[in-house]
């Protein structure tokens, strides 16, 4: 890695490990993850349900639920370690320079506060706007995320809105302060495709207007193909592959990534064709196998995979495409 690469990193996460304190003792759920986002870049984070996407992002903001904690690692944002920062300094970053869209809008919106006030709050706190300007900006934001009658909606409470509307309010809050980094956790799952396309366009516009960086967490690989510059594939709390988006789709290498891509139906599939998917389920916390966590489900697993943990290693000559897989490394050596 060159000094230039390091300098351009807006977010640089190293060795992030998260444990759940369960009845059977602590269990690792995020296992020493490294990931980074450069300025102006959109990083897609993909993986099946339960692979640790949300806990990774919540741990960055130090918003983990009870009994779940970061046990090691660092997360540099714009030159400061979010893990070591004082609670006060972190409050300045959260919602200001880092906008966050949570996966579940019902639990993250305040049920007894009008949505207008919830959108104005970060504008008053982080940007020092007057109440009047903040309300104007809130109307503009609601319009931008495609909410009809934005002026009237300011006075609504979250329960008066549909699930899709609430999700859009969350997006408006995440974008309110024009953050340097937007972390969006499944932000468009409850939205129909037209609104989803509108939100994706809005994020793309802000990216080019403000040079905003984005971390976009999703199950939707088709959406990632059209939005991300680079993709990180998570499995059981580890990064199994990362690559520029085109390289990932042209040459998916890890058997898990290949399995995820094979699960996407295409127009050429006959109606009778069954959706192929990866057999089995990810390991539960505390029941991670030794060796490669994917080995029990992997069609290519060898003895070494059940014994040792593969490291994330470059599989392209310039090193930007990496996979953590003994079978991939063996095939590369043989080639
Ligand atoms: N509050 C909690 N208490 C106990 N276990 C939890 C809690 N939150 C998450 N977990 C467990 O931690 C693991 C990772 O969860 P996480 O929510 O990060 O997954 P995810 O990748 O975001 O999944 P999804 O795609 O369903 O949102 C899962 O096994 C989950 O069951
Ligand atoms: Mg999640």
Classify 3-97+177-265+276-334 by CATH class: alpha beta
Contact between 331 and 321 under an 8 Å Cβ cutoff? The reply is no
Q: Mean pLDDT in each 10-residue stretch from start to end of the chain (335 residues)?
A: 63 97 89 95 94 94 93 95 94 93 84 96 94 96 91 95 89 94 90 85 86 93 93 96 96 94 65 61 87 94 96 91 96 88
197-209 pLDDT tens trace: 888 988 898 888 8
Q: Give the pLDDT of residue 313.
A: 95
pLDDT for the residue 146: 87
Can you tell me which atom of ligand 1 is nearest the CA of 52?
18
Q: Which of 23, 27, 29 to mutate to test the pocket of ligand 1 (most atoms within 8 A of CB)?
A: 29
Atom 18 (ligand 1) nearest CA: 52
Return the residue whose CA atom lies nearest to atom 16 of ligand 1. Answer: 52
Confidence (pLDDT) at 207: 87
Consecutive H or E run containing 11: strand 9-22
Q: 8: which 2 tokens?
A: 């351009």
Helices (H) and strands (E) in the chain, counts: 14, 12
* Confidence at residue 264, expressed as pLDDT on a 0 to 100 scale: 63
Q: How far is the CA of 175 from the centre of ligand 2 (A)?
A: 20
* Owner of token pair 């009845």: 23
Residue ranges in 154-254 assigned as alpha helix (H): 163-175, 193-210, 221-227, 245-250
User: Of the bound ligands, which one is closest to the alpha carbon of residue 184?
Assistant: 2
Tell me the two tokens of residue 188: 């468009």
Question: What whole-number distance in Å separates Cα of residue 140 and Cα of residue 152?
Answer: 12
Mutate which of 281, 285, 287 for ligand 1? The one with the most ligand atoms within 8 Å of its CB, which is 285
List, chain by chain if needed, residues with CB within 6 Å of any ligand 1 atom.
Answer: 20, 29, 47, 49-55, 65, 68, 103, 284-285
What letters, b where the CB count within 10 A reaches 16 and e where it falls short, cover 96-110? bbbbbbbbebeebbe
How far is Cα 114 from Cα 244, in angstroms, rounded to an integer? Answer: 41
At 25, is the secondary structure helix, strand, or coil? strand
- The string of DSSP letters for 53-113 reads HHHHHHHHTT-PPTTEEEEEEEEEETTEETTTS-HHHHHHHBTTTEEEE-S-HHHHS-TTS
Q: Where are the domains of the chain?
A: 3-97+177-265+276-334
Q: Give the N- to C-terminal CA distance of the chain in Å, as an integer.
A: 26
């Amino acid at each position: 890695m060159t000094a230039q690469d390091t300098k351009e990193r807006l977010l640089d996460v190293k060795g992030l490990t998260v444990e759940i304190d369960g009845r059977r003792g602590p269990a690792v759920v995020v296992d020493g993850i490294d990931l980074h986002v450069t300025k102006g870049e959109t990083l897609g984070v993909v993986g099946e349900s339960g692979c640790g996407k949300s806990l990774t992002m919540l741990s960055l903001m130090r918003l983990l639920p009870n009994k779940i904690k970061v046990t090691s690692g660092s997360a540099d944002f714009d030159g400061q370690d979010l893990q070591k920062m004082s609670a006060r300094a972190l409050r300045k970053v959260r919602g200001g320079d880092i906008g966050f869209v949570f996966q579940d809008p019902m639990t993250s919106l305040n049920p007894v506060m009008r949505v207008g006030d919830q959108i104005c709050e970060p504008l008053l706190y982080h940007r020092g706007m007057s109440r009047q300007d903040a309300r104007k900006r809130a109307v503009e934001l609601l319009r931008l995320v495609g909410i009809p009658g934005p002026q009237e909606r300011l006075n609504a409470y979250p329960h008066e809105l549909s699930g899709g509307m609430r999700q859009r309010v969350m997006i408006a809050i995440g974008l309110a302060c024009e953050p340097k980094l937007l972390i969006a956790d499944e932000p468009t799952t409850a939205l129909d495709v037209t609104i989803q396309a509108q939100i994706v366009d809005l994020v793309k516009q802000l990216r080019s207007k403000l040079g905003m960086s984005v971390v976009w967490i999703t199950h939707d690989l088709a959406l990632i193909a059209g939005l991300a510059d680079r993709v990180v594939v998570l499995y059981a709390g580890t990064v199994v592959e990362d690559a520029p988006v085109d390289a990932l789709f042209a040459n998916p290498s890890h058997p898990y990534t290949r399995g995820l891509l094979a699960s996407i139906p295409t127009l050429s599939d006959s109606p009778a064709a069954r959706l192929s998917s990866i057999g089995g389920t990810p390991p539960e916390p505390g029941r991670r196998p030794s060796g490669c966590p994917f080995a029990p489900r992997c069609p290519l697993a060898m003895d070494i995979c059940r014994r040792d943990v593969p490291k994330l290693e470059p599989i392209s000559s310039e090193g930007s495409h990496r996979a953590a897989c003994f079978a991939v490394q063996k095939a590369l050596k043989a080639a």
